[in-house]
Amino acid sequence: MKRIAIAVFILFVAGINLYSQLKGLPSSSSLDKEDIFKLQTSTDKALTSAIEQDKMPVGNIVEPKYYYLGPGDIISLQANPIIPYEVPLMVSPDLTIVLPRGGEISVRNMTLAQLKDTLSHIFKQRNERVELNLSLRKARTVIVTISGNVLFPGTYALPSSYRVSTAIKFANQISTEKSLAEEEKLSIQKLQSRSRERTKNYSEAGIAAENLYSMRNITLLRKFYTSQNVDIERAIATGDLSYDPFIAEGDEIFVPFEPYQYPKVSLSGAVHRPVVLPYKNGDKLSYVLKFCYGLKENADLNNITLYQKGNSPRKIKVDRNLNLLEADIELEPGASIVVGMLQQKKFENTATVSVRGEVQNPGIYPITFGETRLKDVISQAGGFTSKAYLPLAYITRRQEMIDAYVDYRADYFSLFQYSDLTMEDTTRFYIDMMLKKQIVSCDFVKAFKENSEIDNVLLYDGDVITVPDNPGYVYVYGQVNHPGYVEFHEGKTMQWYIEKAGGYAQGAAKKRARIIRGKSRVWTEGDENTYVFAGDEIYVPRPPDVPLAIEWQKYGTIASLVSVTVAVIGTLFNIYWVSKSK
């Protein structure tokens, strides 16, 4: 009701003004500037109020020659010098608009471009000098039904500025407004994870990762317009938007599932999007070439070949934009186009590593692949300073491939799939996998003080060598009397540091005390032959908290075992005694 009231008010105001101007076809001089300003301000407020009621995204750029008008569309009209300001017109439920002093015009089956031509003709009959401006200020909301191969089939209220492809994206989108069960969310996440993994595996292969049957065979059933087959891929490739029309009232969109067998055409090789498409009658070479979204830099323009069953391979001539430079042909089902690749020149990237911390000359140093080792770079950096503390030194290696979206659960299941570990190990394995460090396995003490060649590791591009100074302390905590930092002394064991921290507190599980290495965070048993390094931590836990019921169950089990043992011994003794007495 609010929209209708606004529209009536706007049309009333605009009608009075147009009447005063069109009568006798004068210019706008019959109204003074103050009147025009007041009418313009009133119009702007009413139009803004109507537009702000709908918060949905616009969706697509509206092409006037493809957009069919419907009830609720708000059109902006300006005709200089007759109407020097913007006048909104709303399409009524019976598909008409009322022009001030111009009568009623039907817009049934009329596009925005056709309406502009019609109005231009009407106004030019009254004034040849008129300049008409017409635009769609607000698209109406329409009810459409989307079914088939989408994540969320159902009935949607969407702006009529949405094309069929945009409406389908909306039906495949997870939003906060959709309430999903945990099982549904998990299923969708698995589907998305498999799709990413498939795309990743095929990303540099030059072969299509998946078929696109559904995107070329969408059925659009229409109540007020002609039903049709929607071919989104063809619309993108050719720029012909009639294959991906705007949605309208009562549309039913069915996205098909992929059949077991169907004819195909394919594009592969040095293209941005290798693709396998369902074959459609009338598929021509010129626009099928456009389906791959362009050539890669290494594409060989002299080696583009068309393969069709029953015919010899045929070289295709195209330019860099994949425009055909020869006579166009209609493809046969099963056709395949392969874009060759130029032979890559052998190259070797310049590699560098970073050295930071306690070396004489921290900085960036070049390395040679397969040759430069840890000692070589430390030597280039001038060696260690007197503050360098090798037990805490480490090398960080950057990961070569970092996924935009990481599904740790998928990695976890794939790695654990064929494991022979027990189920009790799964939680610890998951934690370890989640917290993997990009650390190179290397012991600086063994490499530089014991001359270990195993620890004199090869370096790779991007490695970062960190040599810290001696922190001068060990942290002792848990069940000790005085937890905290203890001054580091070379060559001391865990027991020595525990004593410095006041000794074991009441309830300490002495046999479960551990050293946590400062560099690797690995837990180590601290016997008399294991030394503690600066930066290490020592943790003394309490005995595990076991519920009383489980304690009684444990003692009951022990008592049962003792009873059974005594009974067995007694039985054996009786057997022996009886046999001896005989």
Omega cis (within 30) before 81:
yes
pLDDT of residue 198: 60
Most confident region among 56-65, 84-93, 198-207, 403-412 by mean pLDDT: 84-93
Task: Using the structure block, give the residue that is written with the tokens 């080792």.
Answer: 373
Query: Which range among 219-223, 232-236, 577-581 has the greatest average pLDDT?
Result: 219-223
pLDDT of residue 447: 94
**Cis preceding-peptide flag for 333 (omega within 30 of 0):** no
- Same topology between domain 144-174+182-339 and domain 473-540: yes
Among 19-28, 69-78, 155-164, 397-406, the least confident range: 19-28
Q: Give a three-class secondary structure readout of 235-266.
A: HHHHCCHHHCCECCCCCEEEECCCCCCCCEEE
Residue 14 pLDDT greater than 70, yes or no: no
Q: Where are the domains of the chain?
A: 2-139, 144-174+182-339, 473-540, 549-582
The token duo for 276 is 């396998």
Q: How far apart are CA 70 and CA 66, in angstroms?
A: 13
Q: What is the CATH number of domain 2-139?
A: 3.30.1950.10
Q: Can you point out the beta strands (E) in 91-217?
A: 96-99, 103-106, 131-138, 141-148, 154-159
Q: Is the model's pLDDT at 197 over the cut of 80? A: no
pLDDT band at 372 (very low <50, low <70, confident <90, very high): very high
| SS3 category, 440 | coil
Tokens 């794939």 locate to 414
| Res 570: pLDDT | 76
Average pLDDT over residues 152-168: 92
pLDDT score recorded for residue 499: 94
pLDDT given at position 52: 52
Decide which of 237 and 9 is more confident: 237
For residue 511, CA distances in Å to 62, 457, 493, 521 come to 75, 36, 15, 20
Place of tokens 């998951």: 430
Helix (H) or strand (E) holding 306: strand 299-307
pLDDT, residue 39, reads: 46
pLDDT at 200: 61
- Give pLDDT tens digits for 470-500: 999 999 999 999 999 999 999 999 999 999 9
Nearest to 336 by CA among 271, 277, 272: 277
Write down the pLDDT at residue 496.
95
CA pair distance 294, 235, nearest whole angstrom: 16
Q: State the average pLDDT over residues 401-417.
A: 59
pLDDT reported for residue 409 = 63
Question: What average pLDDT does this structure show over 35-57?
Answer: 51
Query: What value does the mean pLDDT take over residues 390-408?
Result: 71
Closest by CA position to 150, among listed 129, 136, 133, 170: 170
Q: What is the pLDDT of residue 451?
A: 93
The DSSP 8-state label assigned to residue 481 in this structure reads S
CA dihedral 533, 537, 538, 540 (to 10 degrees): -170
Q: Looking at the predicted structure, is the pLDDT value of residue 294 above 70?
A: yes
- At residue 367 the predicted structure's pLDDT band, cuts being 50, 70 and 90, is very high
Compute the average pLDDT of residues 121-147: 88
Evaluate whether 329 touches 284 at the Cβ level (below 8 Å). yes
pLDDT confidence of residue 503: 94
Mean pLDDT score across all residues of the chain: 81
pLDDT, one tens digit per residue, over 521-572 is 888 888 888 899 999 999 999 887 666 666 677 777 888 888 888 888 878 7
- What is the rounded CA–CA span in Å between residue 307 and residue 371? 47
pLDDT tens, position by position, 261-288: 888 888 888 888 888 888 888 888 988 8
Residue 67 has pLDDT above 60, yes or no: yes
CATH superfamily of 144-174+182-339: Outer membrane lipoprotein wza domain like (3.10.560.10)
Q: How many CA atoms lie within 13 A of 42 on its CB side?
A: 16
How far apart are alpha carbons 249 and 271 in whole angstroms? 39
| Amino acid identity for residue 164 in this structure | V
Share of the chain above pLDDT 90, in %: 40
pLDDT tier for residue 18 given thresholds of 50, 70 and 90: very low
Average confidence (pLDDT) over 317-322: 90
Of 394 and 413, the structure prediction assigns the larger pLDDT to 394
The verdict on domain 473-540 having CATH code 3.10.560.10 is yes
Residue 384 · residue 378 · CB < 8 Å: yes
Give 433-464 pLDDT, tens digit per residue. 777 788 899 999 999 999 999 999 999 999 99
Over 60: is that where the pLDDT of 20 sits? no
pTM above 0.75, yes or no: no
Average pLDDT (315-321) is 91
